[in-house]
Copies of this chain bind each other. A is one copy, B any other.
């Protein structure tokens, strides 16, 4: 069995923060980026945990993200607030605008946050959870890289376009879902290729648009959306609302801009924030208590709520510490010691 290390949340946060500071990322941004990464690791969401550090360093080394970008908020007092990440990471931009968004949602009932020109690598659940903690329900979406064919088509055009939703609960972790609108993550197909395994039917088509279970042919062809034409429609909506509507990159342009899929994508993002108390005010009902009736009835059937696995992992990590492998620990050491050189760029 490979040796493992146990590290506290605070200690890991500090280490990851230092890695980003060391390579010139503005302290506020380093903190925000480290937080979302360590929260992913804490939740045993490995694909969005410390695994992401290398990807972030590679984009920094390639000069495709601005390390010292200061997010700029544009707020005209309307229900749409903008924050321009100015080519920096999405996370500090979200945190810079979060309080304005929450305040506006409470005063207007609904508000939207447009994040412009950001390097986006993190799961959307992080932002919708942060809003749920303020009692705000939210929808979040963004484009990605065009790997996915629309239903009935065969060429990659849509991104894996994640779609997330958060709903506040009292005394419980919020109701949160966050998923790719593709059937599977691209990384899953790559893992199958490396392992020499076939992928399940329905994940992808080959260059000619024919269904394939060969991971090589799938990566060379196009991935498919979840749920057939319904998932494809939702993915198209994500492109329109968080790409076209904002005047930011859609998935195909994001790919063209980065010149390939080796680097994390740069584009915009959209968050819709709704204040349940404003919406329910005239009904005489407590919207959060109403939500509980539904959510507890789901649990009573023995069905699992989305994110439950993450919350269980979180409780364990905060109690017992975060477990990292020898290789992961060694990589942290290397990043800390050599910065961008560690990614060989």
Contact = CB atoms under 8 A, between A and B. Distances in A.
Interface of A: 74, 78-80, 82, 107-112, 114, 116, 137, 149-155, 157, 165, 167, 175, 177, 179, 181, 226-231, 233-234, 236-237, 239-241, 243-248, 250, 252, 272, 274, 276, 278-280, 282-288, 290-291, 293-295, 297-298, 301-304, 306
A274 B112 contact: yes
Contacts of A228: 226-227
Nearest to A290: B244
A255 B295 CA distance: 18
Nearest to A297: B157
Contacts of A227: 226-228, 230-231
A294 B79 contact: no
Contacts of A152: 301-304
* 3 cross-chain pairs, A with B, having the tightest CB-CB distances, nearest first: A247-B283, A227-B227, A80-B109
Contact of A79 (B111, B151, B283): B111
A285 B247 contact: yes
A153 B300 CA distance: 9
Contacts of A297: 157, 252
Contacts of A241: 137, 274
Contact of A280 (B179, B246, B282): B246
A229 B157 CA distance: 25
B157 A298 contact: yes
Given A150-B298, A167-B240, A239-B294, 7 more contacts: A112-B274, A151-B303, A157-B301, A165-B234, A244-B294, A245-B291, A247-B285
18 contacts: A79-B79, A79-B111, A80-B110, A80-B278, A80-B279, A110-B272, A112-B274, A137-B245, A153-B301, A167-B237, A175-B236, A226-B231, A230-B231, A236-B298, A239-B294, A243-B294, A244-B293, A247-B286
A168 to B, nearest CB: 10
A244 B80 CA distance: 24
A245 B274 CA distance: 9
Contact of A109 (B79, B226, B234, B248): B79
Nearest to A276: B245
B240 A153 contact: no
A239 B154 CA distance: 34
A274 B113 CA distance: 12
A250 to B, nearest CB: 6
A112 B236 CA distance: 22
Contacts of A286: 247
Most chain B CB within a 10 A radius of its CB, from A153, A154, A231, A298:
A298
Contact of A246 (B167, B179, B279): B279
Contacts of A74: 282
B80 A155 contact: no
A7 to B, nearest CB: 32
B245 A287 contact: yes
Contact of A112 (B110, B155, B291): B110
